Structure 1
Amino acid sequence: MAELYAINCRDKPNSKEKRMAGLKAHLAHMDEVFDRVSIACPLLDEDGDFAGSMLVISATDMADAQAFIEQDPYYDADIWDSIQIDRVGVTAGSWVGGQPW
């Protein structure tokens, strides 16, 4: 059974040029896997510059989530300094219909 996983990727310093060069391939890849994506967005620093990427995806387990992010062209472009993957326990919020209490 698929569960949600949050993937936070922090860019390496001075990686904007690589990020922009790989944007077309990254977006094409996102189109291919869109059925597994709940959220996909760039992370921005206080100046509005790229700081990384955040995704919330459906995956069967941690290994599946890891394989998912390793298939992204940005992974091959080596723009990310770190990747943190966590299973998400959705319990409340406007996106999930409110609060259970």
Structure 2
Amino acid sequence: MKTFAIYCVDKPDTAQKRLDARDAHFAHIEATLANFCIAGPLLDDQGVTIGSLLVVKAETATEARAFLEADPYFDSDIWADVRITQFVAAAGDWIGGKIW
């Protein structure tokens, strides 16, 4: 299984859409928690949510995209830009050091 980083930037003025879909989004996260390495909101300097960052387990970028499209936030049309890239966790305390 590979991992993919998914970087999503919110469209302007979508805070209410995000709030309206939040409970369904959290239910989706809880139901699919095994697919996530990590996930959370991206914040600006004032602590306002401006996007989302996910690292998910998938075999292909297409599968990672399909997983994202199952999220209620996707249906809420809050993201202006979505980038999906294969990711390798190579160093840091989250992985217990380094891989080399």
| TM over 0.5, shorter chain | yes
- 2:13: which partner in 1? 14
Unpaired segments ≥5 residues, structure 2: none
Matches within 5 A, 1:1-101: 2-100=1-99
Residue 99 of structure 1 deviates from its aligned partner by: 2.5
Q: Note the alpha carbon deviations across 1:34-70, whole angstroms, 9 max, x for none.
A: 0011111010011110100111110011110010101
Q: Which runs of 4+ in 1 moved over 4 A?
A: none
* Percent sequence identity over aligned pairs: 42
TM-score where L is the length of structure 2: 0.95
Higher relative strand content? 2
TM-align CA RMSD: 1.0
Unpaired segments ≥5 residues, structure 1: none
